[in-house]
Amino acid sequence: MAATAERPARIVIENCAVATVDARDTEYAQGHVVVAGQVIESVGEGKAPEGLENVVRRIDGTGHLVTPGLVNTHHHFYQWLTRGLATDHNLFDWLVALYPTWARIDEPMVHAAAQGSLAMMARGGVTTAMDHHYVFPRGTGDLAGAIVRAARETGVRFTLARGSMDRGESDGGLPPDFAVESLDGALAATERTVARHHDASFGSMTQVAVAPCSPFSVSTELMREGAGLARRLGVRLHTHGSETVEEEKFCHELFGMGPTAYFESTGWLGEDVWMAHCVHMNDADIAAFARTGTGVAHCPSSNARLAAGIARVPDMLAAGIPVGLGVDGTASNESGELHTELRNALLVNRLGPHREAALTARQALRLGTHGGARVLGREAEIGSLEPGKLADLVLWRMDTLAHASIADPVAALVLGAAAPVTLSLVGGVPVVEDGRLLTVDEDAVARTTRDEARRLARVTAGEE
């Protein structure tokens, strides 16, 4: 009999370790998960309940760990085409080196780069992705549409943070004037993107956030009006903040205050805001984020690659700030995988003042799942394995050479090599099986991204 809303198709996964990442960090050494349609029906110890109807698939998870799907909270997909460049630069020098290339992207390039970024993350266990896209050269087609199309093709849940820059060099900003939009143009295009793509319903596959880029590339008017627009439309707000000492100096020189005070003065602290990086935060900044419920996308690999510093994640968590993890753009984190961020969040924070007490493996897993769901405003739907939540989950293989000798599966997942994904589900729909994407042809994506990266290099060099 066919599946219906009253009689959903069920997938049963059993005989595996389960890390639910619920409020009590409940784990089962030998447990089960039952998926009914797009939601989780039950999670628990031992075998799945007997007598379930309409079981279309029963998976023996022996030697596996099942967790919530990973949630990425900060990325710039277009940077997939400019990986491995300006490898020994700090943030400002790196941006200045790359803006002229980025300002030449077009729609086929952006679509290919989005496919590459999404494919890389999905095959590594990401079930919810985001893209902060802030470069919109004139006359280059529907870039937002191309990104959303790539996310649909890949099959992951998705937030598009419609970015913008309007403070060019001649207004004291960092980007060249030819790389920025006008204030009115950016606001109007952002509003159109929300109208076209934002879906606020339970289980939505596409959401849109308002996301002016950073204090040194955006006018104060765009920050203020962007915040007003987001609140009028009922969508979330995202930006870069407190990333480097150079940004801090810029804010003091131009605005007479540090980044967090500047964000507060422009309406950019609140429960509907999450900010990438937040490396240079003093105690008062952390208290302001905690008081207002402002979230953080922690990007440890990128912060190391660009010599930005170490974000105070243990202090943020102690203060109750929502913290998720971000790959960041792959021009500053060439791996493009979120697993690396779980591992590096733990390792990098242990180099800070809290040393071995900085983060546990379970806290790192929480940052990459439930923490990400919180900062994206989707805690009620995803981020933990609990009945009624969406069936976004990953079955990780733990019985190979890489992990079999580690008794604790969560420690193995976080501290070990990237574990192979036997199965990932997004809303109950398989996206990865036995390490391969079901939705797009990885080899074809690899070829297209290589070709588009080469074309971008030729266009930048004036050869096309």
Q: Up-side HSE of residue 128: CA atoms within 13 Å toward CB?
A: 37
Q: Are strands 10-19 and 64-68 parallel, antiparallel or unpaired?
A: parallel
Residue nearest to ligand LDV2AJBS (CB): 214
Using alpha carbons, select from 337, 354, 429 the residue that is nearest to residue 391.
429
Q: 13 or 299, CB closer to ligand LDV2AJBS?
A: 299
The Cα 104–Cα 110 span in angstroms is: 10
Among 217, 301, 384, 422, binds ligand LDV2AJBS (CB under 6 A): 217
Shortest reach from residue 222's CB to ligand LDV2AJBS, in Å:
13
Q: 73 or 214, CB closer to ligand LDV2AJBS?
A: 214
Size of the site for ligand LDV2AJBS (CB under 6 A): 12
- E strands, 256-411, where? 273-277, 295-298, 323-325, 393-397
CB 215, CB 92: distance < 8 Å: no
Shortest reach from residue 365's CB to ligand LDV2AJBS, in Å:
24
Among 166, 328, 341, 392, binds ligand LDV2AJBS (CB under 6 A): 328
Structural Rg of the chain based on CA atoms: 21
C-alpha dist (Å) from residue 348 to 34, 167, 323, 336, 407:
36, 33, 15, 18, 24
Q: 204 or 335, CB closer to ligand LDV2AJBS?
A: 335
Among 43, 213, 278, 376, binds ligand LDV2AJBS (CB under 6 A): 213
76 in contact with ligand LDV2AJBS (CB under 6 A): yes
The Cα 187–Cα 393 span in angstroms is: 36
The Cα 421–Cα 125 span in angstroms is: 7
164 in contact with ligand LDV2AJBS (CB under 6 A): no
329 in contact with ligand LDV2AJBS (CB under 6 A): yes
Local structure of 194: helix, strand or coil: helix
186 in contact with ligand LDV2AJBS (CB under 6 A): no
Query: What are 277's strand-pairing partners?
Result: 241
Shortest reach from residue 117's CB to ligand LDV2AJBS, in Å:
13
Q: 243 or 315, CB closer to ligand LDV2AJBS?
A: 243
Among 66, 91, 222, 229, binds ligand LDV2AJBS (CB under 6 A): 91
Residue 261: which H helix or E strand, with range?
helix 259-265
The Cα 76–Cα 87 span in angstroms is: 17
Q: 32 or 75, CB closer to ligand LDV2AJBS?
A: 75
Shortest reach from residue 174's CB to ligand LDV2AJBS, in Å:
7
What tokens were used for 234? 């009922």
The Cα 213–Cα 287 span in angstroms is: 23
CB 339, CB 125: distance < 8 Å: yes
Q: 20 or 242, CB closer to ligand LDV2AJBS?
A: 242
CB 388, CB 33: distance < 8 Å: no
Report the site for ligand LDV2AJBS in 225-254 (rule: CB under 6 A).
240, 243
Report the site for ligand LDV2AJBS in 288-307 (rule: CB under 6 A).
302
Report the site for ligand LDV2AJBS in 369-428 (rule: CB under 6 A).
none
Q: Up-side HSE of residue 288: CA atoms within 13 Å toward CB?
A: 18
115 in contact with ligand LDV2AJBS (CB under 6 A): no
Q: 97 or 290, CB closer to ligand LDV2AJBS?
A: 97
The Cα 299–Cα 341 span in angstroms is: 7
Contact residues for ligand LDV2AJBS, defined by CB under 6 A: 76, 91, 95, 213-214, 217, 240, 243, 302, 328-329, 332
